[in-house]
């Protein structure tokens, strides 16, 4: 593997080697981070490597999940090129320092996008978006948020297949690495399935470009679901999806709100998951309990869209027949569809995710709702909102992914739903109490995934062993051992467990 051809980078390697410890020596986390930050400040300069000041303060406290906003990195690196990332990662590696990487800052997993006594690499200065009409590809730098990508690309009539929470515009591109579910997924596959090439800085600072056909094809596959474990992506090249311009309004749908009839909505959701296998149809069904002054208000939101001029009754009829409190349906452009959920970027609260996966069986959905609702009632004094959400994954999505070369998730079949279990804590709570951790663990245990189905990495609890649910788990382990033989990433950067 060859280092990138950045002239000053080779000099940086020699400088860092001279500063490094002798082989096998150990340092505590604080000292290792201090050493790394000192070296990187010399190499990259004070504007790129910061340990204090307004830019540092904003970056350190801007994480969406309040638990992560409480961390204070030893220094923050603000790269604007892949070469800066190489230098940073080499320095971190040589100093044996802990580190984290932040793109959109929307992770609900504590410690996955920031670090205490370590180096944080944040991509706020790498937000370029472009469309190559000749190659029909979209190029995104890692600091891009989905909202900005959709808006910038809409005039070309194209869109990327974003991550699941990429349907929320505040989220960053890094969630492609967790697979990525999108309004376009039924026809295009996981967001990761649309990758054409990725520029990656590995744990030791090595720079490579991985594609499906070059010498890094195994790394390319692992990145399609492997999260942050295989390196730092500095450029995503994606296949463009032709969705039409704002004037085309090629889609139909919108929002339906139910404030009762939970059983009927659950049954309709399970039936949709089991029976609907149309690449033009997509829904997100979110059961939400809003808690205000001890009062729980149920709000069950269906977001339903169809690429066409109506919501066909043979697909959406069960939902449309249930009495609703609010309904707003009509013709939409894809930009309208993509921005339906808004930015959802409100800071200042502890957030928590958990994941399951269920086949379309009504009894499983009713049982999941029962456990989730009882959990909310029992612990309502801690939360301002709890959510149980279902994202159908039809066979068309799995087939589309296979047609594009497959991914490391390697789901065995379609016709199941990714299940998100999500809590937002009350203002003033800065960390999850131990008894609530135990209650959440019990809740997740009570909603187990159907046998053989993969969990969705972007919406998991940090203690869930998502990788072990993948069809290609053993291959994932083999590829990881090849590209990080010293296990630096799993020992110095928090993220998915199981490698």
**What is 330-369 written as a DSSP string?**
EEE-HHHHHTTT------SB-EEEEEEEEES-HHHHHHHH
For the chain, count helices (H), then strands (E).
16, 18
Q: What top-level class would CATH report for the domain 129-244+474-481?
A: alpha beta
Q: Between 6 and 198, where is the model more confident? A: 198
Task: Supply angle C-alpha 470, 120, 27, rounded to 5.
Answer: 95
CATH number, domain 251-471 = 3.40.462.20
The b/e string for 306-333 (b: 16+ C-beta within 10 A; e otherwise) is bbeeebeeebbebbbebebeeeebeebb
- What secondary structure, in 3-state letters, does 216-245 show? CHHHHHHHCCCCCCCCEEEEEEEECEECCC
pLDDT tens string 332-381 = 999 999 988 866 667 899 999 999 999 999 999 999 999 999 999 999 99
Give 173's pLDDT tier (boundaries 50, 70, 90): confident
Q: Are the CB atoms for 258 and 363 separated by under 8 Å?
A: no
| Torsional class of 45: left (φ above 0), alpha (ψ -120 to 50), beta (otherwise) | left
Give 80's pLDDT tier (boundaries 50, 70, 90): very high
Give 175's pLDDT tier (boundaries 50, 70, 90): confident
Strands 295-307 and 281-292 turn out to be antiparallel
DSSP letter (8 states) at residue 3 = P
Q: Are the CB atoms for 416 and 274 separated by under 8 Å?
A: no
Give 172's pLDDT tier (boundaries 50, 70, 90): confident
Residue 168 confidence (pLDDT) above 70: no
Residue 258 confidence (pLDDT) above 60: yes
Q: What percent of the chain has pLDDT over 90?
A: 87
Report which of 210, 309, 315, 334 is spatially closest to residue 268, judged by C-alpha positions.
315
Tokens of 61: 């406290």
Residue-level pLDDT at 14: 37
Residue 10 confidence (pLDDT) above 50: no
Residue-level pLDDT at 344: 60
CATH number, domain 7-125 = 3.30.43.10
Residue-level pLDDT at 91: 98
Domains of the chain, by residue range, sit at 7-125, 129-244+474-481, 251-471
Task: Supply angle C-alpha 489, 418, 102, rounded to 5.
Answer: 35
Residue 108 confidence (pLDDT) above 80: yes
Q: Are the CB atoms for 355 and 330 separated by under 8 Å?
A: no
pLDDT tens string 259-312 = 999 999 999 999 999 999 999 999 999 999 999 998 999 999 999 999 999 999
Tokens of 327: 């309904």
Q: What percent of the chain has pLDDT over 70?
A: 92
Tokens of 120: 């944080």
pLDDT tens string 202-230 = 999 999 999 999 999 999 999 999 999 99
Task: Please give the torsion angle defined by the CA atoms of residues 96, 100, 103 and 108, in that order, rounded to the nearest 10 degrees.
Answer: 160
* Predicted TM-score (pTM) of this structure: 0.92
Give 107's pLDDT tier (boundaries 50, 70, 90): confident
Report which of 308, 341, 306 is spatially closest to residue 320, judged by C-alpha positions.
306
Mean confidence (pLDDT) of the chain: 92
Residue-level pLDDT at 22: 36
Q: Are the CB atoms for 138 and 160 separated by under 8 Å?
A: yes
């Amino acid at each position: 593997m060859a280092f990138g051809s950045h002239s000053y980078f080779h000099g940086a390697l020699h400088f860092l080697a001279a500063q490094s410890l002798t082989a096998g020596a150990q340092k505590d986390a604080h000292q290792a981070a201090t050493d790394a930050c000192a070296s990187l400040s010399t190499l990259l300069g004070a504007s790129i490597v910061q340990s204090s000041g307004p830019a540092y303060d904003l970056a350190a406290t801007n994480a969406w999940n309040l638990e992560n906003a409480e961390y204070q990195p030893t220094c923050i690196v603000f790269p604007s090129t892949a070469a800066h990332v190489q230098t940073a990662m080499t320095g971190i590696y040589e100093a044996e320092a802990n580190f984290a990487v932040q793109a959109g800052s929307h992770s609900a997993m504590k410690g996955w996008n920031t670090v205490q006594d370590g180096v944080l690499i944040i991509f706020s200065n790498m937000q370029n978006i472009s469309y190559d009409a000749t190659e029909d590809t979209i190029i995104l730098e890692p600091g891009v948020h989905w909202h900005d990508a959709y808006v910038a690309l809409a005039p070309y009539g194209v869109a990327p297949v974003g991550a699941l929470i990429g349907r929320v515009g505040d989220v960053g591109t890094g969630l492609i690495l967790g697979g990525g579910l999108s309004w376009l997924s039924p026809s295009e596959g996981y967001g990761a399935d649309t990758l054409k090439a990725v520029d990656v800085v590995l744990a030791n600072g090595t720079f490579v470009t991985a594609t499906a056909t070059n010498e890094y094809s195994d790394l390319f596959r692992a990145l399609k679901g492997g999260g942050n474990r295989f390196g730092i992506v500095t450029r995503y090249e994606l296949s463009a999806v032709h969705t039409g311009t704002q004037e085309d309004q090629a889609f139909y749908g919108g929002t339906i709100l139910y404030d009762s009839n939970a059983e009927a909505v659950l049954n309709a959701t399970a039936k949709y998951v089991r029976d609907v296998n149309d690449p033009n149809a997509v829904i997100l069904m979110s059961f939400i309990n809003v808690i205000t002054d001890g009062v729980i208000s149920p709000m069950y939101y269906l977001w339903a869209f169809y690429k066409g001029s109506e919501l066909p009754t043979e697909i959406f009829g069960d939902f449309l027949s249930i009495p609703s409190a609010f309904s707003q349906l009509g013709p939409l452009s894809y930009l309208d569809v993509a921005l339906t959920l808004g930015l959802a970027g409100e800071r200042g609260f502890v957030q928590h995710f958990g994941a399951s996966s269920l086949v379309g069986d009504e009894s499983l959905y009713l049982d999941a709702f029962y456990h989730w609702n009882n959990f909310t009632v029992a612990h309502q004094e801690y939360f301002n909102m709890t959510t149980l959400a279902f994202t159908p994954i039809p066979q068309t999505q799995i087939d589309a992914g296979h047609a594009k070369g497959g991914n490391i998730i390697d789901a065995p079949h379609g016709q199941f739903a990714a299940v998100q279990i999500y809590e937002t804590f009350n203002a003033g709570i800065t960390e999850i109490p131990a008894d609530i951790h135990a209650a959440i663990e019990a809740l997740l245990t009570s909603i187990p995934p159907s046998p053989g189905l993969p969990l969705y990495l972007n919406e998991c609890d940090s203690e869930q062993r998502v990788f072990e649910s993948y069809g290609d788990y053993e291959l994932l382990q083999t590829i990881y051992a090849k590209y990080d033989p010293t296990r630096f990433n799993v020992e110095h950067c928090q993220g998915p467990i199981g490698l």
